[in-house]
Structure 1
């Protein structure tokens, strides 16, 4: 009986009791009815509570089943999260549900239900969510305002549950549920969400594992697919059980249509026995692996050369279950090997040709040998050789044209080749030109008697990268010439060109010898002129002689009237001019000797410091008070072995020039320094300097700087210095700045 029937019965009973006349009895009976009614109400409340609990447990079971189903069906973690969030909200009426995963230092929203204001990122450093992440423990807030960490991102939140999500023991995110008043979250909600979080955590682990596996699988597939070699596997019966995509790239057959077929099906008929024999070596356990070359049939009917590396494969019990290996396209390698073999044979041809050139000294004989050897390397029906003379072609050899009724080929080619752009390209750039179909070049055919020609090859004869002629080969077949044949003809032409170049060089050498003889005769004549220049240079004596004469006359005429200082100046003038003349005479004698019989060093042992100091003092006396020579030295230089005469000429010329080209009161630096096993001599002045563009010419005989002006000089001093330095095995360098001065630096051995 349900509660409605009980209430009806109690009402009827109450009506009956009210008819009882005795008050005490009626009251006692009504009290008992009221007690029954209260008991009935309590029973109804208990029944309703039990019903609600059973209903909630059923909802929890349904939700967990949904989670398990999502876990089983979905491999994408985002899809699993979406299903669980939406099912949780729908099953229990939660209005605010969300799941966040950790990304860096924040929680990133994955999916949510019910939020108008979405919070995409939550820092893990604070708040309730951050505390759950840091502690790894779930939190139930029946009243969110009682927790200091609660951050009211959405107004009106009354309660919250935040549960951590785990992956391999580490917190990777949170499941969060929030409610508005008057709804409150309780312990039973916490238990449900903890159970649900375990399923979400498992889903995350499974999805990430699947993602890793899938990435590895994709990487494997990509690797296998990108390998240029075929990877294959066969069963015991020899049928193919695995092929990677390279199979189709090499053979043209689809992998699917090839699996289950024997390799013999794709083999060249002549190679089938080789394939079978090598497979038998593995299957009979005579070898664990084999490597061999064979030809495979392609889908278009052609054959491709491959290298097969095969090895035995075994199961876990050690039983042979088939073969596996790689298959590599070696067509290019085979072509390269064939090309190399042909090149070796062609090298023999070139050696024979080179040997035939040994005794040839005339160009026509060279071209005749070229024609003979070209016939061995290129298929042609007629051909000719034309050389370039005065920018026109001249035929020097021909074959096959007269036999085909073209007797006037020589003139025809000479005229036609001179006006065709193809020939200009060959002649100008030195490259072969192939005309595979002459029907496309109507201007090439200069005569109707050449209408049989279908293709043509032009090859330059070049020397030092300049074309000097052309080889023309004609064929009655279209596309008769290939580039490798053109290159071989070019190699023959280049070898001939080397011989032709040698013949030309011989002619040039004879001309050079003639030119040298003429130059030598001119040089001898020039040497004679130079030897006579000494006579001309005597004019340089006029100035010093005039100075000497005028000074002497002054001394003679005014001997008693001149002051001592003036007399000293006049005597100094005389001494300087005599010194200048003496130096010029010495230089002339030496340069003349150098131009005729030559100079030779005569070394003697000397104290170099003392020697140089003496020269400096002598030059200072000549310079007088107008210039100062500052001599310095360092290092041990006492036991030098040099030619004192030549060394003095070196120093006198350098110091004399420094004095001559320096202004009055100028200072000349004369430095002497030991260096390793040699000596460094430096002379520096503060004079007019040397123009930079004339620095390289100042050591030439009779050359003077353009800015010397009226300063006297013969132009032979520095030439003599350089020769004397070189006789000592030394070198001389000069640095100069206009208006500031010049420095000469000599390095020579201390002993010669």
Structure 2
């Protein structure tokens, strides 16, 4: 019984255990199904969330398989490349967005990675270019990473359109380069030599035209009362020259009040479209349209507390927009022009001061010379006039005291002596008056046609019976001197003084050689004597007024003869030269060119 009872109990326990195991298995299966469902739901949620994130991404997200076919293509990819998701899925990526120059490298790169699992462009950010559906190539930033899956590998990528960034960088680079260019140009212009104002302005206008790409650069200056703006220089870039003065007109302030109200108030005229801006509307018909000017940038030049000039930047062609940097550069240019004007004014003032100082010095020298001349004249007059005056006085006294006793012949001799003395004094006075006319600029030059040979022959006849009666004067004419344009009065002074000096300073009975030589260039007069000669120490002042050589103090003379000769030769535009040897004689050469 006990045994049966134990068996019955064991059987019950077994049945209970089996039942429990079955229930436990069922519970585990139900839990596993529930976990699977929860996991699948979470995966689906996360997948949906990831898909939504990809769709909402501001970057294009593209996934391809290892064969290069598109498996994922988000909304930004549609917008960026122009291909819809439906069109892109299943297409080869290289056929759609990869430029031809990169396609071969793209295919080789994928094959190399699949074979070696090594690639230099994966898991990095690169800058390349891509193609839009329209064929337009544009810059992108690309990040690619590989993902292993059951079928092998897939490749996902973030792509960003960096066109605006590149453009911004390019604009920033251009701005930096332009700023550097402006600074370089301004530095070079600031270092230029400003001794010549016109050269400085031309250099500034040309450099500005080249820097800003402006067809015309104009420098104009206000009149003293600011009633007109006077154009002084126009630089034209097309021909690389300045316009003729006929194109440099004046602009009346009354005719263009809108324009000048801006300029005179020291404000720039910055106009992108000259036909629509009030400041330039007055200039359109008469100035801007005929020259094809479409945009203007005019900057005032400020100096000494007022606007004194204007620098005009005149653009020809399609209208342009002036940038802030260009306006600032134009103001810097106007400052350089102001510096050039200031330097020119300073140089003019310094030159005026130097000229005034030179004039004062000349006046002092002239005054000193006049004092010396006065002294010389007084000395000469007191000496040279004494002899003829003494002759006149003694002759007159003799005639007065012994008139009844003197024979007619003796009376005639005394009267002749008086006449000779008077003529001598008259000649001296004429020489002084001649020098006075020359020094005051009143000596006239009246060339006429004369026969030179006849003139010389007539003069020699007069001399031979007068001062030259005790000398031999030999005359020789060379060449064909028939008719020449010469002032006969001045020529008489030249020849008479040279011949008289030759006679005066040569011993009686000696020979004076006088030659007149006509060639293609003019007439050469040569007068050679056998007189005392000219000492070396007297040659520097030989043609000075009232100067007499040291070896002729005992011979009567005024010291004006050679000074008169030099002035007469100069009026003819001729030259005078001489050679001399003390004790042997002097030879003068006078060349008078044909007029």
TM over 0.5: no
Q: Tell me the TM-score normalized by structure 1.
A: 0.31
Structure with the bigger RCO (C-alpha within 8 Å, sep 6+) is: 2
